[in-house]
Amino acid sequence: MPSDVEGSYSRRAAEYTAALGSIATVHPSDLALVTSRASSVVGPLLDAGCGPGHWTAHLASQCADARGVDRVPAFIEHARAEHPTVPFTVGDIDALADPDEGYGGVLAWYSLIHHEPDAVRRALDEFARVLRPGGQLLVGFFLGAAVDPFDHAVVTAYRWPAEALAGELDATGFAIVETHTRIGAAARPRPHGAITAVLR
């Protein structure tokens, strides 16, 4: 990973957590989408790139078996302290420690945004490996007209056209179920996309 994602988030983990580390800060449409998708998952759920763990705790409130992984130790320490009944692990979503086909669902909510475009497939391959056939993947991302980098508040991030990211999912073995976008005034601070897919 060329840019220092781990170091950049580690330095600003407390700030990120204070600003965004609560389910109360998420957009109501995103909360509705994630909740409804989670309710249809059969089997354990992985929150991949869980940050402070608020989404993981929400998933755990919907389905008993949810866990989070992130490569930033400060996020995992916070998540464990804040949500002591939910399992959290320090780890890399490009090289998960989990066995094959162990999960019914993976949430990758804004955790692929810092991957260089040609490296997104590493994480997607891992999601495909740890999901059961028919398992669900939900990805949240910054929407854009082209795949291009921008100066995200923490570290360089990438916008993706929904079709381009859907193409990466398709090439990894996922069938696209639905795509959501939010643009214009409703999209503050930035245009947003979400794709739900199932492993073929």
Ligand X SMILES: C[S@@+](CC[C@H](N)C(=O)[O-])C[C@H]1O[C@@H](n2cnc3c(N)ncnc32)[C@H](O)[C@@H]1O
Q: Which residues bind ligand X (CB under 6 A)?
A: 5, 9, 20, 49-51, 55, 70-72, 75, 92-94, 109-111, 113-114
| Residue number with CB closer to ligand X (19 or 175) | 19
Closest separation between CB of residue 7 and ligand X, Å? 10
Shortest spacing between CB 4 and ligand X, in angstroms: 11
| Residue whose CB is less far from ligand X, 72 or 137 | 72
Q: Which lies closer to ligand X via its Cβ, residue 73 or residue 133? A: 73
Residue nearest to ligand X (CB): 51
Place of tokens 């795949």: 147
CB of 40 to ligand X, least distance (A): 20
Cβ at position 111, least distance to ligand X in Å: 4
Nearer to ligand X by C-beta: 35 or 175? 35
Q: Which residues of 35-47 are buried (b: 16+ CB within 10 A; e: fewer)?
A: eebbeebebbbbb
Give me 116's structure tokens.
Answer: 């260089």
Structure tokens at 120: 């997104």
> Residue 151's closest CA among 104, 188, 114, 107?
114
Structure tokens at 49: 């790139």
One-letter amino acid at 94 equals: D
Closest CB to ligand X among 88 and 174?
A: 88
- Rounded Cα distance, 150 and 161, in Å: 14
Phi, then psi, of 119 in degrees rounded to 5: -110, -5
> Minimum CB separation from ligand X for residue 92, in Å?
4
